A and B are shown apart, each in its own frame.
Chain A
Amino acid sequence: MKRISDVISIIFIAVAVAFFVISNSFPAGSNGAVGPAWFPRIMCVIIIILSVINLVTTTLADKELSEEERAADRQKTANIFSKDNLIVWVTVGATLVYVICIQKLGFVVSSIAYILIMNFYYKVPKISRIAAVVIPFAVTGVLYYVFTNLLHVVLPSGILI
C-alpha cells in the first residue's frame, strides 16, 4: 500500500529530524571520546536517507503499475478506513478504553467488562451463550490467580478491583 508506506516514510523523517535537533542539547565528548549525541545522529541521517530512498522507489514502482493496479492499491488503502473495517477501529478504541480503565477501575472489573462487551460485539452468543458469559469470568479469574498468587504480581486495583 503505497500511500501508507509514504506516510510512514514521512513520519520516520520527522522523527529522525526531531531526534537530531534534540541531540544538539547533549554534552560533547571529552578526552577524545565521542559524546552521547554521536551515534543517534548517525542513525538519524541513515533513517532520513533510507526514507527518501523508499519514497523514491515506491513512486517509481507505482509509475510502472497499470491504472487498474494503482486503483486497486488505492482501494486497499481506502478500505482500512472504510466502514468494512469498522470492527478493527472499534476493537482499537475499546482496547484503549480498557487499558485506561485497568488503572482507574482495576484489572478484574475492567477485564471482565472488556471481554464481555467484546464477546457481545463479536456476536459470540450466536456460537454459545454460555461461553460468551462464562469466559470473561473464567479467564479473568485464572489470570488474576496465576499472576497474584503464583507470580506475586500486584495487579492494578483502581477504585474497584
Chain B
Amino acid sequence: MLAILSNLFQPIVILSTLGGVIMGIAFGAMPGLTSTMGVCLLMPLTFGMDAAPGLLMLIGIFCGALYGGSITACLINTPGTPSAAATVLDGYPMTLRGEAARALGISTVSSFAGGIISGTVMILIARRLAMLSLSFSAPETFALAFFGLSIIASISGKNLVKGLMAGCMGILLSMIGIDNITAFTRYNFGSVFLSKGLSFIPVLVGLFALSQCFLTCEELFVERPKAKKMKNPFPSKEDMKTILPTIIRGGLTGTFIGIIPGAGGDISAFISYDMERRFSKHPEKFGTGIPEGIAAPESSNNGTTGGALIPLLTLGIPGDANTAIMLGALQMHNMTPGPSLFLTKLADVHTIFAGFMLANVFVLLLGMLGQNMFVKIVSVPKRILIPVIMVMCAVGSFSINNNFYDVLVMFIAGVIGYFLTKGGFPLSPIVLALILGQMCEGNLRRSLVMSQGGISIFYTRPICALFLVLGTAAIVWPLVKGARNYLIGRKGGRA
C-alpha cells in the first residue's frame, strides 16, 4: 500500500494525471473535438514518460473528456461529446431557469461518483479476471482476438456491412510487413518503410483527428452560442439527497455497460436516463430540468471509464476507440495486457488503479473550481483551433518513429477518413482491426500448427469455444435482426 502511494504521489504522476484531466475536459467541452481525438493527439507526449504516468495521462484525458462534454451540454445545449447527449435533456432546461451552476454542480458530482464506483469495481475484479487468462494458449488467444474483432458489429451502428468492410480492410492492412510465422515480407511494394508494417498510431491520428478537422472545416464559420460565467457550482444538501440513489444506480449500470465491448458512454447514458425515468415516481418531470435527469447520464457515462478498462487490462480487448488507442499505448510502453501484466508489472497496475481514482478526484476539483476557466476554453473559435490541431497531428505522428513517412501516412489516412465518414463508414473498426489483426492471424496459424491442420482444437477447448460462439453471435445476431426488420418492413409496406 505504501509502495502504491509513494508511486502515486510522485510529482510526474500527479502532474501527468492532472494535465490529462485538464486537457480531457477541454477536449470534451469543445463541440467538434472528441475524447478520441484528445487521446490520439496527446499519446505521443506519453512516449517519453514511464509507463504509469504516460497511461495515467491518457486515462485522465478519457475521464476528463467524458465529464467535459456535460459542460457545453448544460450551458449551451450542445453536447461536447456523444456521451453527454442525454445530459442535454435536463441540463439545459435547468440552465434556462437560471440554475446553470446547479446543473454543472450536479453533473460534476455525478461524474466523479460514477468514476469512483467504476474504479472500485475495476480494482475488485480485474486481477481475478486476468488470472483466468493464465490458461490461455494460441487457440484461446485467437478466439479472444476474434471476439475482440466481433466488437466491430456493435460499434458499427446501423451500418453493419460497412463496419465489417472497414474492419476486414483494417485486418488486410495489418498484414503489410513481415509475417510473424515465416518472416516473409508481405505487401511492402518494395518499400523499406512498409516492411515494418503500417504504424497504427499515424493511421488513427489521421482517421480520428485529421479527418475530424476536415469535417469541422465545413462549418468553420458557424459560431457556437457563448456560455456565461457562474458562481458556487456545488450542489445543495437536498440535491445531494435526491441524486445519491440515482448516482449509485447510474455508476453501476455504466460500469457494467463499459465492460461489454463496443458499448460506450453514449449508450450507457441513455440507458441510465431511461431506466431512471421508468422507475421514477414522477416520470413526467424528466426533460424539464430535474437533478435526477442530469445525475443518471453523467454518473453512467463516467462509470463506463472504469468498466472499459477492465477488459483492456485483463484480456487486451479494447471496448471502444479510446481504449483501442490505450491498448496501442500499452504496447508502446512494453506492457502486454493480461495475466503477465498483473504478475510482472503489478506495481504499475496498482499505480494505474490508484491514479484512476485520483483522475476522478481531479475531475471533481477541476469541475468545482475551474468551471469559469473551461467556459473560456469553450469560447475559443474553431477557426483558431483547427490549424493548431493540424500541426499537433503532424508533430505527433512524426515523433513516434522519427519518420517523415508516418506524417504522410497520417495525411493519407485523414483524407481517406473524411471520405469514409461521408460514405457512412465507421472508422473505429479499421483501428481495432489494425491492432488485433496480426494477433488474430498469428494465433490462428499457430493453433493450426498445434492441431496439425485439424479444426477440432477450436471446439474441444471450452474457453476457446465460448469466445468463438460469443464472437460469432455478436456478428451474426445484428445481421439476422437487420434482415428480419427489413423483411417485416417490406411486408408492412406491401400490406
A119 engages B384 (CB within 8 Å): yes
Q: Would you call B395 and A107 a contact (CB within 8 A)?
A: yes
**Is A129 on the interface with B (CB-CB < 8 A)?**
no
A72 near B: Cβ within 8 Å?
no
Q: Say whether B453 contacts A95, CB under 8 Å.
A: no
State whether A4 and B45 are in contact (beta carbons under 8 Å apart), knowing that A35-B182, A54-B161 are contacts in the complex: no
Whether A78 sits at the interface, judged by CB under 8 Å, is: no
Q: How many residues belonging to A are interface residues under a CB distance threshold of 8 Å? A: 68
Among B96-104, B293-301, B386-394, the stretch in contact with A: B386-394
Chain B residues in contact with chain A, CB under 8 A?
Answer: 44-45, 47-48, 161-162, 164-165, 168-169, 171-172, 175, 179, 181-182, 184, 186-187, 210, 213-214, 217-218, 220-221, 381, 383-384, 386-388, 390-392, 394-395, 398-399, 402, 404, 407-408, 411, 414-415, 418-420, 422-425, 441, 444-445, 448-449, 452-453
A146 CA / B396 CA spacing, docked (Å): 11
Inter-chain contacts of A98 with B (CB < 8 A):
390-391, 394
> Is A159's beta carbon under 8 Å from chain B?
no
The 17 listed contacts between A and B (C-beta, < 8 Å) are: A1-B422, A9-B165, A26-B184, A43-B172, A44-B172, A54-B162, A88-B218, A91-B213, A91-B217, A92-B415, A92-B418, A102-B398, A118-B387, A119-B384, A136-B387, A150-B48, A153-B398
Chain B, interface SS category = helix
In the complex the two chains form, what is the Cα distance from A23 to B182 in whole Å?
14
> Is the Cβ of B165 less than 8 Å from the Cβ of A155?
no
In the complex, the answer to whether B165 meets A102 with C-beta atoms within 8 Å is no
A1-53 contacts to B (CB < 8 Å): 1, 4-5, 7-9, 12, 15-16, 19, 22-23, 26-27, 32-36, 38-40, 43-44, 46-47, 50-51, 53
Q: How far is B394's CA from A96's CA once the two chains are assembled, in angstroms?
A: 11
Residues of A within 8 A of B181 (CB): 33, 36
- For A40, give its contact among B175, B411, B425, B453 (CB under 8 Å): B175
Residues of A within 8 A of B452 (CB): 32
Q: Residues 101-122 of chain A: 1 if any B CB is under 8 Å from the residue's CB, otherwise 0?
A: 0110001000100110011001
Q: How far is the CB of A110 from chain B (nearest CB, A)?
A: 9
Query: Do B395 and A155 have beta carbons less than 8 Å apart?
Result: yes
Task: For B45, give its contact among A9, A54, A111, A151 (CB under 8 Å).
Answer: A151
Shortest Cβ distance from B482 into A: residue:
A57
Closest 9 CB pairs of A and B: A151-B48, A122-B383, A118-B387, A4-B423, A36-B179, A5-B423, A153-B399, A115-B387, A39-B441
Nearest opposing residue in chain A for B172, CB measure: A43
Is A133 located at the chain interface by the 8 A CB criterion? no
Task: Write the chain A residue with the least CB distance to B165.
Answer: A50
Q: Report the minimal beta-carbon distance from A136 to chain B, rounded to whole angstroms.
A: 8
